[in-house]
Amino acid sequence: MLNFTVKQLAAELAAKRLSSVEVTQYFLKRINVLGKALNAFISVDEERSLAAARGADQRIATGGTGPLTGIPLAHKDIFCAKGWLTTCGSKILSNFVAPYDAHVIERFGHAGAVIAGKTNMDEFAMGSSSETSFYGPVRNPWDVAAVPGGSSGGSAAAVAARLAPAATGTDTGGSIRQPAALSGVCGLKPTYGVVSRYGMIAFASSLDQAGPLAKTAEDLALLLNAMAGFDARDSTSLQREPEDYTRDLLKPLKGLRIGLPAEFFAEGVAPDVVKAVEQAIAELKRLGCVTVDVALPNMKLSVPVYYVLAPAEASSNLSRFDGVRYGYRAPEYSDLIDMYRKTRAQGFGAEVKRRILIGTYVLSHGYYDAYYIKAQKLRRLIAQDFVDAFSKCDVIVGPTSPTTAFNIGEKAGDPVQMYLSDIYTIAVNLAGLPGMSIPAGFGNKSRPVGLQLIGNYFGEAKMLNVAHQYQQATDWHMRMPPGIN
């Protein structure tokens, strides 16, 4: 069961060779033993999970089996789940029991999936290493001295260590793709607007998207099928014809055009990452793909643009955390303003405060045009580069991260160094395009390397096709960290 995909587990459940209770117990036991060492989970509620598993078994017994019925899934602690502590990795929500379900949680509930637990993450999704959590850092199952990546590090570690067959995450600047790469699993960020953000604690509203993490591209497609779709409660949710994201998995890749941007292979990528990515591209060519050189000349601006826009939106979104209606309130204060100031000073960690301050500054009087509006204009140039590139290719490919996983504490002292690790993922969020990362081998110290695929708008099925065919010809995605058995 350790290495079963969601698809395989669903087949076992449908054939009644396994029950949801058995499957859930199996993973809960692993969470209990390994979860603490990795610090991958913030909340686990065995009774609740098993009750849901019993419900799923009843559904299965009466013939109601779907692709996710009875499957335990780990959810990033950014999704409100009714009755579950939902902390967003922060002290300011360390006592917040969500009174409602996020759209994503609701969808999985309707599908009969089981909540295995809530995973650890960078505080308010602000980070690339899962080190800023109020609950302490998450460790990489491949090397516990290393970070799993962030901000969805708990979810990535959970899938890598086989604590759950699949998980959810969110991606604002790379927070699904980068931890997937560093932890040797698959992760996908959909086109902006495809998955509803209702009940997903907001960081940067024009960039945030929820997405799945799993061991295979096929599993990502199965989870995306449940997550995607219009939701009237999210004003940015797109109304489109429903899609089956598994529909193109089996298409041969012959003639498919892979775009290779020069900017993804310039200086700054570690040699061990380059080697693995080049081997992956060679494999794609063997499978019939044709490579095309493309250019993303404005990509180098994506980090500065993001670190204006995302903090600006965050400063607005996090202004709701004031100790009035929910969450942490400072124990002592002199008046209302003092209550706000102390609650937020005590409740937020250093990185969150930094970003709120940057955001407040770039939106403030006298600076709005030079920073915020300027960044929005550059955003259009960055997005236009991709439009031009996609006139010449079907899918863009390159490294997800410039390096493999770095050590815990290595970059925590210098925010700018940490920010630069998002260099290949951020532009995808700015443009609102879909992106994914799949395992493509190992680098130094046997740390995983991720291959990033970027699709055109609504091009998830095509990206998943490339990934699935690659995974039929290679087995990086089925490798397991040593010692997690």
Partner 1 sequence: MVLTLDDVKRIAHLARIEVEAHEAEQILVQLGGIFGLIEAMQAVNTDGVEPMSHAQDVMLRLREDAVTEGDQHLLFQSIAPQVEADLYLVPKVIE
Are 475 and 289 contacting, i.e. CB atoms less than 8 angstroms apart?
Answer: no
At CA 430, angle to CA 293 and CA 371, rounded to 5?
Answer: 120
Burial 247-284 (b: 16+ CB within 10 A, else e): ebbeeebeebebbbbebbeeeebbebbbebbeebbebb
Q: How far is the CB of 41 from partner 1 (least distance, A)?
A: 22
Q: Which of 8, 206, 291, 474 binds partner 1 (CB under 8 A)?
A: 206
Three-state DSSP at 482 gives coil
Q: Which two tokens stand for residue 247?
A: 């529909």
Are 429 and 379 contacting, i.e. CB atoms less than 8 angstroms apart?
Answer: no
325 binds partner 1 (CB under 8 A): yes
Q: How far is the CB of 48 from partner 1 (least distance, A)?
A: 18
357 binds partner 1 (CB under 8 A): yes
Q: How far is the CB of 227 from partner 1 (least distance, A)?
A: 18
Those residues whose C-beta lies under 8 Å from the C-beta of residue 363, and which sit 6 or more positions away, are 312, 315, 316, 372
Q: Which of 63, 235, 241, 475 binds partner 1 (CB under 8 A)?
A: 235
335 binds partner 1 (CB under 8 A): yes
236 binds partner 1 (CB under 8 A): yes
- Beta-strand pair 257-261/209-214: unpaired
Backbone angles phi, psi at 85, to 5 degrees: -55, 130
Q: How far is the CB of 193 from partner 1 (least distance, A)?
A: 6
329 binds partner 1 (CB under 8 A): yes
Q: Alpha-carbon distance 154 to 190, whole Å? A: 20
Q: Which of 292, 339, 480, 484 binds partner 1 (CB under 8 A)?
A: 339
167 binds partner 1 (CB under 8 A): no
**CB closer to partner 1, 268 vs 304:** 304
| Closest by Cα among 217, 223, 208, 270 to 424 | 270
Size of the site for partner 1 (CB under 8 A): 71
**CB closer to partner 1, 22 vs 410:** 410
For residue 454, what are the CA distances in angstroms to 226, 404, 425? 21, 19, 9
Q: Which of residues 173-192 bind partner 1 (CB under 8 A)?
A: 191-192
Backbone angles phi, psi at 55, to 5 degrees: -60, -40
Site string for partner 1, 213-232 (x = CB under 8 A): -------------------x
- Beta-strand pair 41-43/209-214: unpaired
Q: Which of residues 66-95 bind partner 1 (CB under 8 A)?
A: 95
CA atoms 56, 189, 246, 453: torsion sign: negative
Q: How far is the CB of 465 from partner 1 (least distance, A)?
A: 22
Segment near partner 1 (CB under 8 A), from 24-32, 53-61, 215-223, 370-378?
370-378
Catalytic residues: 76, 151, 175
Are 245 and 464 contacting, i.e. CB atoms less than 8 angstroms apart?
Answer: yes
282 binds partner 1 (CB under 8 A): no
358 binds partner 1 (CB under 8 A): yes
Q: Which of 305, 393, 426, 427 binds partner 1 (CB under 8 A)?
A: 305
Strand order in the sheet with 395-399: 41-43, 114-119, 72-76, 166-171, 209-214, 186-189, 435-442, 448-455, 395-399, 257-261, 290-294
Q: Which of residues 119-158 bind partner 1 (CB under 8 A)?
A: none
26 binds partner 1 (CB under 8 A): no
| Local structure of residue 249 (DSSP, 8 states) | T
Segment near partner 1 (CB under 8 A), from 129-137, 215-223, 244-252, 302-310?
302-310
Backbone angles phi, psi at 45, to 5 degrees: -140, 90
Q: Which of 103, 118, 379, 462 binds partner 1 (CB under 8 A)?
A: 379
Q: Which of residues 389-428 bind partner 1 (CB under 8 A)?
A: 414-416, 419
**CB closer to partner 1, 14 vs 85:** 85
**CB closer to partner 1, 429 vs 465:** 429
Segment near partner 1 (CB under 8 A), from 10-18, 128-136, 287-295, 350-358?
350-358
Would you say how long the chain is, in residues? Answer: 485
